[in-house]
Structure 1
Amino acid sequence: MKKLIIFGLLLLILVGCNQRSEDLEESINSVVEDKSKGEIDVNAYTNFDWEKAFLFTPYSTTESIEEQLETSFKDKSNIHIRDDIYLLVFLNEDEVVQYAEIKRQGSDFSIKETDKEYLTLSEDVISFEVH
């Protein structure tokens, strides 16, 4: 019985890893659809703990994503063969906790602080330019 309970808890923990945040995706996609802002304050739309967030461009490989994150990541989005999304991956305590697929909608995205490789809670702005 104890083994079954431990197995169940481990399964819940594993299922919780690398969760896709569809609520965040909807919020960000709404801002981009509006086309009047040009910036997204990411932390205003998150409801989970995170320390860093990385923005990956279309065609990013799993290897390059994992290298930048310095941890493993199961890419369910298949971004390595897609040009219609950007991938926003959130880390907390050096572990992936959430990710979001951001629809391009004719836009290009970048981290506002150009000298930064990732977003933080205090510097959490993504810029976008609609073409």
Structure 2
Amino acid sequence: MVKHAFLILSVLLTGCFLLGPDAGLVSTRIGHEVRDKNEQHIDMTEMTDFPWDELYLFGPYQARDSICRTLQIGGTECSRVSPEMVDEGDVLLVFRNRGDIAHVEKHRRYLGDFSSADKSDPIRREDAKFIVEQSSVAADGKPWLKLNLLQRSNPPKRTSPNGEGPIDRH
């Protein structure tokens, strides 16, 4: 009985380490696809169950002020959406729908590393498709998997948060 309890506890702790305490449903689904099922392509529309039309990816060491400036949010909403800084092992996934924040979660890079994706512009829903490529070996001896954005159909035009036209960069 004690051996079984120890085994269960070990598995749970390992899962918590790999997923992290704040790994969300989208992150867990991505990890399942690339780690457990060895999928070679990820379509983010299949990883989500909420409405969204844009995805932002904020990589390690991105500071809150930079994230909130990109998302054009401030104050309380900024504090609610973004950590002070994205941790080294994470990517912050921010989904928008019609200019509003629809979903935010921390994604563990071990479960698929988006950190090489271009984060300067939002990724439109129809373009949020990634190819899975092994780039090196992780500390546990398993492959380090990069999620690289497939070619976009047309570069997105950044719009204001209310969706009423392009951002004025002046």
TM-score (norm 2): 0.53
2:94 counterpart of 1:89? yes
Trace 1:1-131 onto structure 2 (pairs within 5 A). 22-34=24-36, 36-72=38-74, 73-74=78-79, 78=83, 80=85, 82-105=87-110, 108-109=113-114, 110-111=116-117, 117-130=121-134, 131=136
Evaluate the alpha carbon distance shift between residue 41 and residue 83 of structure 1 in structure 2; reply closer, same or farther with a 3 A threshold.
Answer: same
1:72-97 deviation per Cα after TM superposition (whole angstroms, max 9, x unaligned)? 43356736151111111011121212
2:128 partner letter: D
* Runs of 5+ consecutive residues of structure 1 not aligned to the other structure: 1-19
**SS of 1:40 mapped into structure 2:** strand
**SS of 1:36 mapped into structure 2:** coil
Q: Which protein has greater RCO, CA pairs closer than 8 Å, 6+ apart?
A: 1
2:31 partner letter: N
TM-score (norm 1): 0.66
Evaluate the alpha carbon distance shift between residue 99 and residue 58 of structure 1 in structure 2; reply closer, same or farther with a 3 A threshold.
Answer: same
Greater Rg, structure 1 or structure 2? 2
**SS of 2:61 mapped into structure 1:** coil
1:100 partner letter: E
Percent of aligned pairs sharing the same letter:
25
1:25 partner letter: S
CA distance in structure 2 between the partners assigned to 1:47 and 1:21 by the alignment? 16
| Higher alpha-carbon deviation: 60-69 or 21-30 | 21-30
Q: CA RMSD in A?
A: 3.0
State the number of aligned residues.
Answer: 110
* Runs of 5+ consecutive residues of structure 2 not aligned to the other structure: 1-21, 137-170
